[in-house]
Amino acid sequence: MSRSKDKPLLEKLLIEDVASEGKAIARYQGMVVFVSLCVPGDVVDVQVIRKRKRYMEGYPVKYHEYSPDRAEPFCEHFGICGGCKWQHLPYPGQLKLKQRQVSDDLERIGKVDTARVLPIIGAETQQFYRNKLEFTFSANRWLTQSEIQSGQTGIERRGLGFHIPGKFDKVLDIQHCYLQPEPSNQIRNFVRRYAIENKLPFFDLLKQEGLLRNLIIRNNSAGEVMTIFSFYREDKAIEELLDAVAKAFPQITSLMYVINPKGNDTLNDLEIKLHKGADHLIEVMDDLKFRISPKSFFQTNTSQAFRLYNVVREFAGLTGKELVYDLYTGTGTIALFLARHCRQVIGAEYVREATDDANINARLNNITNAVFYTGDIREIFTASFLS
C-alpha cells in the first residue's frame, strides 16, 4: 500500500463479487472495497477515492490478471459514459451474478426464503433494444483523458450526449450508442453537426444560458420515430432546425418541441408543441394497441416489457371475478393486459397525459372494464377509494 493515508493505493486486490450500480467488490484488511470497471477474478491495483468507516471506493489503475470471465466491451464510450455498466462481463455471467445479488439482498435485508426464487428471464438482445433515449446539449462538454493528454488545441467543446455519472454539469459527447436502433445515432449526429455549422448556442448548464437543451428520441416496433427538442427560449432558428431535421429524416412521424426556461430539464409541467406529424406513437403488443404521447411513461425495453406483462398475467391467476388495482399505471399497459381476464381494473397515475393515454388505449382496444384516475397515489388511494 502506498499514496496518502486517506486515499491509498491498494495493490493486487482480488475482485471477488459484484455489487449494485456497476461496482465490483474486493476486500482489504477486512474492509469492503467497491471498485469500478472490474469483474470477479480480476487482480488489480486500486486507487482509493473515498474512505469511510466500513468501506472504501476506488478505481483500477493497473490490471495484474484479467478474469477468464471478462469480455471486450463493444462500445467506444464504455467506462466513461456510465450508461452500460457491465459490457465487460458476458451477458450470461451478468444474469448469474445479478440473480445471486437479488437473492442475497432478499435473504439478508428482507429475511425472505429464496429457495423458490425463479431464474431471471434474460433479454433476447443486448443491443439496440431501447425505445427512448434523452440526450443533453453542452457548451462545455467533458474532455476524455486521451483528448487532454493529446495536448491538441482548438478542440470542439460543444457536444450532445449523456451526463457523466455524478456530474450534473458534465456531458460526454456521444458518437455511437448501442442502446437504441437507428436512426437514433444518425439524428443525434445530424443535429449536432447542423447546430455547430449554423452557430446555434448550446446550453451552458452552469451559467443557464444558450438555446439547445435536450433531444429526446422515441421509437416503436414499427420503426416510427418521435423526436422532441427542448429549447431554453424562443428563437427564429428553431423552425429552421426542425424543418432541416424533418427533411433529412422522413421516418420521423412525430416532430415536437418545448420551450423550457426552468433550472431543470423536467417537462411534465410544460406545453409540448407539435411541429410536424402526429402527436403520439402507437405501439402494438400481443393484439393490444398502446398510444404513447411525449410525456407518457412506457417501458423502455418493449420486448422485455411484453415478456414481463405475460408473467404478471400468469402469476395473477385471474379467474374473471377479481377487482385489480394498478398503481402508477402509466399508459395503462399492465392494466389493459389484465382487463380481459378480470372483472375490472382501476389504474392510478399522477401524470395527466399518461392517464389520458390510458383511457384512449382502453377505447382503442374496446376495453370497457378499465378506468383510470389522475393524482398523487398517497392522496387518492384511500379507504374510500378502495370502497
Longest dimension (CA), the chain: 71
Model confidence, pTM: 0.90
Q: What is the pLDDT of residue 19?
A: 85
Sheet holding 370-374, edge to edge: 323-327, 344-349, 370-374
Q: Tens digit of pLDDT for each residue in 177-208?
A: 999 999 999 999 999 999 999 999 999 999 99
Query: Count of CB atoms within 10 A of residue 371's CB?
Result: 16
Percent of the chain with pLDDT over 70: 97
pLDDT band, very low/low/confident/very high, at 228 (cuts 50, 70, 90): very high
Phi, psi of 163 (to 5 degrees): -70, 140
Question: Which amino acid is located at 80 in the chain?
Answer: I
- Number of other residues whose CB lies within 10 A of the CB of residue 29: 7
Q: How far apart are CA 192 and CA 196, in angstroms?
A: 6
Higher pLDDT: 293 or 241? It is 241
Q: Using CA atoms, how far apart are residues 130 and 363, in angstroms rounded to an integer?
A: 27
pLDDT band for position 118 (cuts 50, 70, 90): confident
For the cut 60, the answer to whether the pLDDT of residue 366 exceeds it is yes
Q: What pLDDT does residue 352 have?
A: 86
Is the confidence at residue 292, as pLDDT, over 80?
yes
Give the pLDDT band (50/70/90) at residue 144: confident
How many other C-beta atoms lie within 10 A of the C-beta of residue 219? 26
What rounded mean pLDDT belongs to the chain? 92
- Examine the pLDDT at 116 and tell me if it is beyond 90: no
pLDDT above 80: residue 73: yes
Over the stretch 343-354, which tens digit does the pLDDT of each residue have?
999 999 988 888
pLDDT recorded at residue 4: 60
pLDDT value, residue 385: 64
Residue with the larger pLDDT of the pair 50 and 378? 50
| Contact yes or no for 226/253 (Cβ under 8 A) | yes
Rg (alpha carbons) of the chain, rounded to whole number: 24
Helix, strand or coil, per DSSP, at residue 87: coil
